[in-house]
Structure 1
Amino acid sequence: MNIRKLDPSASPLDYYGYELRRAREAAGLTLAQLGSIVFCTGSLIGQIETAAKVPQREFSERVDAALGTDGLFSRLVGLVLRSQLPSWFQPYAEMEAKAAYISTHQAQLVYGLLQTKAYARAVLGIRDDGNLDGKVAARLDRQRILDRDQPPVAWVVLSEAALHQEVGGREVMREQLTYLLDTQKRTWLDIQVLPFEAGAHTGLMGSFNLLRFEKDPDIVYTEDFVQGHMTANPQAFKEGSVRYDHLQAAALSVDDSAALIARVMEERYGNDPEPDGHSVA
């Protein structure tokens, strides 16, 4: 059998595959045997060992338990998933994970840290250049910061347009808006909707994020269609903060925002059949 040789220094994904093969062989297990223990196929194990497939966090936890590797793969998978993000985005993701306060204005789409798997897949698949599974897994893994014992305080100003922009179909949107309503129950997370009736506002130029830290300088982050831009320039952060204050003032209250999300969910993505005849609910 021709087994592909990996260079463990080539990438985090190659290193993960190299270590997985080494640990499996040290345990005297075949691909199929390890697969049966961690509830997947031997083929999937082989694809991960040859860096053809991106491992998931749950898979890594099962492998650690099966091979007694003391959390090795659970630690490595974070590096692997981070490497699936665009290279220009990785520095921002690192700072995002350290932030004590996150304020974001989203002009068209649901905020990435609040996207469901199906919604994220639809967004990231618009111009899919391969490895969509890895990109989706990386985005969902970023969301783990919201489940920490001490998560960042997060405030989201979401344009009403994001509620109406149908991404992935009505069923996907209904699931997404339901998730937004569920997240409103978290005491450290608030969502305000900026209604169409607000007219001209300070966020018309597009989405932006403000990150504040306990020790590091505050950061403002913006994106264009090519890449992101992150700066700790105090004047830029001051300008972003003023714009954000005006957006919050123009947006609906948290309770009224939840009511609008629920109304759009029922009226636009309710129980009417999809074009193929299947009910959405």
Structure 2
Amino acid sequence: MSRADALRPDFSLWHLIAVELRRQRQIRKISGAALAIMLDCDRSTVARYESGDVQLPIARARILDREWGLLGFFENLVKHAKNAQDLDWWETFKEYERRANLVKTYEPSLIPGLLQRENYARAVFEIGRRTDVDEAVAERLARQEILTRKDPCKLMAILDTAAVLRAFGDADVMRDQLGYLLEISERPNVFLRVTSDRLVGYDCIGGGFTVLQTPTGDLGFATYGSTGHISLDPLDVQDQAIRYDQIGMSSLTVEATRAFLRKTLESIS
């Protein structure tokens, strides 16, 4: 089954847009190559729009409406999709994460899920009053396989100092978690840094965000309180990547981060 055939338009407006784009093209008996010419892009980009790997930009939605006489149909769908929260956003995120070859993430509140130990993760979910703690922990640990598989994903993680110092669970849990951060930071595919006291404010301060790079397209993910928002829009993804670099410019180096983690670990009584 192709990725286009696996789309779920009943759960995601972006999936609906991808399905409808393909359907409208086929109704008009237009090839993907011909549509690419109309949209001023290459054929592979059209394929990625139709598979849902890349979100249709509003400028190209307007071209479709104009050329096909659809009176704002695609433009309105894109506008609604940008303002909506997909019911399956978590499943979409996990699918991109599984295919990622590079993950850039900033976390202001806690250790990122890809770096959490079992007992730390359990404490996080218990504090959050999850009713499915065992299942949630198992899922979180399973996601970490991308860092140890045959062709491991590269992880570039920046943790706010508060995320390192904030305790979840007892002293044993935190010793285990910080010791693991030191251990995994030695792996060639993991680059771990902690913010310094020179960190200045940045756009959308208050929530964490992640950029996933995959062979078929990139995804941006941001958290707002207890909710998450994903975007496949290249401009949104680029904006998050820039924010990551801005935070990185006023963060500790990898070596200084290890020293900070060792000092923090030694201070736990």
Say if 1:203 and 1:247, in contact at 8 Å, map to a contact too: no
CA offset digits 1:220-245 (Å, max 9, x no partner): 10122343211111111121111111
Say if 1:110 and 1:158, in contact at 8 Å, map to a contact too: yes
Report the identity percentage: 30
Shift of 1:217: 2.0
CA distance in 2, matches of 1:233, 1:109: 27
Q: Who is 1:155 aligned against?
A: 156
Closer/same/farther in 2, CA of residues 203 and 172 from structure 1, 3 Å limit: farther
CA distance in 1, matches of 2:146, 2:253: 25
Structural mapping, 1:74-223, within 5 Å: 88-201=89-202, 204-214=205-215, 216-223=216-223
Of structures 1 and 2, the one scoring higher in RCO (CA 8 A, sep 6+) is: 2
Shift of 1:202: 5.1
Q: Who is 2:236 aligned against?
A: 236
Say if 1:202 and 1:246, in contact at 8 Å, map to a contact too: no
CA distance in 1, matches of 2:252, 2:163: 15
CA offset digits 1:187-241 (Å, max 9, x no partner): 0111011023424345723200001112x22111012234321111111112111
Q: Which moved more, 1:108-117 or 1:124-133?
A: 124-133
Q: Which runs of 5+ in 1 are unaligned?
A: 1-85, 273-281
Closer/same/farther in 2, CA of residues 193 and 203 from structure 1, 3 Å limit: farther
CA distance in 2, matches of 1:202, 1:225: 16
CA offset digits 1:137-174 (Å, max 9, x no partner): 11111111111011111100111111110111221111
Say if 1:105 and 1:207, in contact at 8 Å, map to a contact too: yes
Structural mapping, 1:233-272, within 5 Å: 233-267=233-267, 269=268, 272=269
Q: Which runs of 5+ in 2 are unaligned?
A: 1-86
Q: How many residues align?
A: 183
**TM-score, structure 1 normalization:** 0.62
Measured on the aligned residues, the alpha-carbon RMSD in Å equals 1.7
CA distance in 2, matches of 1:205, 1:162: 12
**TM-score, structure 2 normalization:** 0.65
CA distance in 2, matches of 1:238, 1:182: 31
Amino acid at match of 1:228: G
